[in-house]
Amino acid sequence: FLLFAKKGAQSCWYLQTKEPLLLGRVFSGIQPTGVPHLGNYLGALGNWVSLQNQYSSVLYSIVDLHSITQPQDPKLLRTNILDMVASLLACGIDPRRAVLFQQSQVSEHAELSWILGCLTSMPRLRHLPQWKSKQKNEGSVGLYTYPVLQAADILLYKSTHVPVGEDQVQHLELAQDLARIFNHRFGDLFPEPRALLSSTRKIKSLREPSAKMSKSDPQTMATVFLTDSPDDVALKIRRSVTDFTSEVTFDPENRPGVSNLVSIHAAMATISVEEAVSQATGLDTGAYKQLVTEAVVQRLTPIRLQVERLRSDPAHLEHVLAQGASRARELAAPVLEEVKQRVGFC
């Protein structure tokens, strides 16, 4: 059951469970790009559900401030935010166990980002991947300083652990550096957050298995979304790229397409890769695709139905965000106040 404890300026929510929860605070964020795809689910979101049951304090943010580093249609952005809330709830994020909130509703993120930005050198940002990927230095100031806001997101809650993919490790290192810089200049305040690397294999595009699955892939058959119908899932997997060898083996280097299907099958059926290959004994890749389809449909159907139900009640989704923002501010406000005092603002 849910308990609330308050000690001085700090307050926290936690669940009393049979197993003791790990000490520490987990923070992670996801951009509101609409309904997640299979790769998101098997990578970040499945891990998020596990972490909320393992740690004593967990915060998950829909990072809409980050999303506007690229042009956004305002109406679509609002729809995407609510779709993301619905998707997270449907996947198993429990607002009683984790603080689920919208980043822009907690203004302390932006305030701390400015202060940390004044401690960050331009060369340090110039070599981070979000900027290096832009040709001829094209891009907004927001994109350039994006990692500083990420650092503020993390440090604002004195987070100790951050689940990240390998492509985000450099951004977490900036948060660690800024914690050290602030602590050295103004006295110890921020813990240095540690990475929680996911062991889940990256899910690849069904049409181009050398690239990871992506929402922005122009090929409609490349990506399976959590709200895809069983027929859509079957069609996409049936048309997935494999090779001319009929036997099913797991060899990502030489057989990326078939190996991607094995990874999907193993993850969705919660079995090992070895067991997935064993179940494919005697099947050609065409027949194996049907087996993979069944595993995906079985796992996604209840999520799809729950997303549809939640989408039909936007007032409930707004209420979840409002409650989450209130709880997030209770944690963020005293930290920012302490930062302001140490910097000399008050």
Residues assigned a catalytic role: 134, 212, 215
Q: How far is CA 307 from CA 22, 39, 326, in A?
A: 30, 17, 24
CA distances from 208 to 84, 121, 325 (A): 26, 38, 39
196 alpha-carbon distance from chain centroid: 12
Name the token pair of 3.
Answer: 């308990």
* DSSP code of residue 225: B
Question: Among all chains, which residue has been given the structure tokens 């520490």?
Answer: 24
Question: CA dihedral defined by 110, 116, 122, 124, rounded to 10 degrees?
Answer: -120
Residue ranges of the alpha helices (H) in 23-145?
Answer: 38-40, 46-52, 64-67, 74-91, 108-117, 122-126, 129-132, 141-144
Q: 100 with 321: CB under 8 angstroms?
A: yes
Are 226 and 90 contacting, i.e. CB atoms less than 8 angstroms apart?
yes
Angle at 16 between CA 10 and CA 18, to 5 degrees: 145
Is 264 in contact with 292 (CB distance < 8 Å)?
A: yes
Name the nearest CA neighbour of 195 among 157, 234, 163. Answer: 163
